[in-house]
Amino acid sequence: MEFKKKNILDINSLSASEIEFILDTADSMKEINERPVKKVPALRGKTIVLFFQEPSTRTKLSFELAAKRLSADSVSLAASSSSMKKGETLLDTARTIEAMKPDILVMRHSMSGAPHFLSKFLKCSILNAGDGRHAHPSQALLDMMTIREKKKTLTGLNIAIIGDISNSRVARSNMRGLVKLGNNVKVFGPPSMIPFKIEEEFKVSVSRSMEEALSDADAVIMLRIQKERQGANLFSTDREYSRFFGLNRENLKNAKKDVLVMHPGPVNRGVEITPELADSEISVINEQVSNGVALRMALFYLVSGGSKNENSD
């Protein structure tokens, strides 16, 4: 298969076979990360700019390592140190970056649609590393990669996504991808965190209790309570939230025995998930992080036209 996408802006614009192809490519990248010398020359001479307008630790580090392991030159630019602080518009900043001829721009932005907006003007590839509440395609892809790796399949599974769906770009991208590949997705959270017409739009079902959401689940994706993104009064207190909407040993009994517990991080320990569960053997939170590097290597490789010259290296 030849991968023709120039940008990865959301999951919606990827077909099921493109998603699977990305995951296959990521699987093959994984081995590189286990070598003593973790570097291949695939993207030698390519320049990758990481433009993060919002704070990020793991996503940024993951993209950065992925770039370096493919021998690309990567530089990162934080909004706090950029001229956006001086009032420059997003488009002007992006055009300035582009004038220095990067091949790929990885961007994170607090506003939904910001990468789509820039993609209309820039010639370089754009990888969306999270935009507002809209999409976080690389996170969803690494989640799918992790589920597929553990379950040996990525179709017909029961997957629960629990928490602040309204404010979550991770949830949106995961719902889109998992449903596209034929999984049953249930979502649960307080109604203040479940967006309007979600069933119709994402073809998921909304559960009425933690037990219902978790019943027969193959995997459960817990979402972070995004305190920084929160309007007032979406829920009462952390304490009550953890009791009724948090994951614990007891309610997890409703799930399948070999259920995977996932979390995109960073975890609010004791709020959406008990610390004990987060650290337990059924938690694949660290595998998610490891897979993230391989998955992002795959994305860099594919948008650079890697699939067109398989044997050139």
Partner 1 sequence: MRILIKNGTCLVFGKGEQKTNIYIEDKIIKEISSEEKDADKVIDASGMYVFPGLIDVHVHLREPGQEYKETIESGAKAAAKGGFTDICCMPNTNPVNDSPSITAFIKDKALKAGFSNVHPIASLTKGLKGEEICDYGELKQAGAIALSDDGRPVTDSGVMRRAVEYAKAFELPVICHSEELSLSGKGVMNEGIVSTRLGLTGIPDSAESLGVKRDIEVGSLVDYSVHIAHVSAKKTIEIIRNAKKSGTKVTAETAPHYFTLTEDAIDLFDTYAKMNPPLRTESDRLAIIEALKDNTIDIIATDHAPHSDEEKIVPFEEAAFGITGLETSLALSLNLVFSGILSMEELAEKMSINPGKVIGINNSLFEGNQANITIVNPDFEWIVTREGFVSKSKNSPFIGKKLKGICEYTIKNGDIIWRRQN
Interface residues with partner 1 (CB under 8 A) are 89-91, 109, 111-114, 116-117, 131-135, 169, 172, 195-198, 200-202, 231
CB 107 within 8 A of CB 56: no
Measured CA to CA, the distance from residue 265 to residue 199 in angstroms comes to 25
Q: Report the nearest approach of partner 1 to the CB of residue 88 (Å).
A: 12
Q: Which is nearer to partner 1, 198 or 297 (CB)?
A: 198
Q: Report the nearest approach of partner 1 to the CB of residue 219 (Å).
A: 23
Measured CA to CA, the distance from residue 49 to residue 64 in angstroms comes to 9
Q: Report the nearest approach of partner 1 to the CB of residue 183 (Å).
A: 19
CB 128 within 8 A of CB 63: no
Q: Which is nearer to partner 1, 69 or 134 (CB)?
A: 134
Q: Report the nearest approach of partner 1 to the CB of residue 131 (Å).
A: 8
**DSSP secondary structure letters along 106-171:** EEEESSTTHHHHHHTT--SEEEEEEETTTB-HHHHHHHHHHHHHHHS--SS-EEEEES--TT-HHH
Q: Report the nearest approach of partner 1 to the CB of residue 107 (Å).
A: 11
- b/e string for 194-223 if b means 16 or more Cβ within 10 A? beeebeeebebeebeebeebbbebbbbbbb
Amino acid sitting at position 85 = K
Q: Which is nearer to partner 1, 33 or 205 (CB)?
A: 205
Q: Which is nearer to partner 1, 60 or 109 (CB)?
A: 109
Q: Which is nearer to partner 1, 69 or 176 (CB)?
A: 176
Name 228's Cβ contacts closer than 8 Å, sequence gap at least 6: none
Q: Report the nearest approach of partner 1 to the CB of residue 188 (Å).
A: 16
36 φ/ψ angles, rounded to the nearest 5 degrees: -65, -40
CB 260 within 8 A of CB 289: no
Q: Which is nearer to partner 1, 89 or 286 (CB)?
A: 89
Residue 172 is classified by DSSP as H
Q: Report the nearest approach of partner 1 to the CB of residue 134 (Å).
A: 4
Q: Which is nearer to partner 1, 121 or 244 (CB)?
A: 121
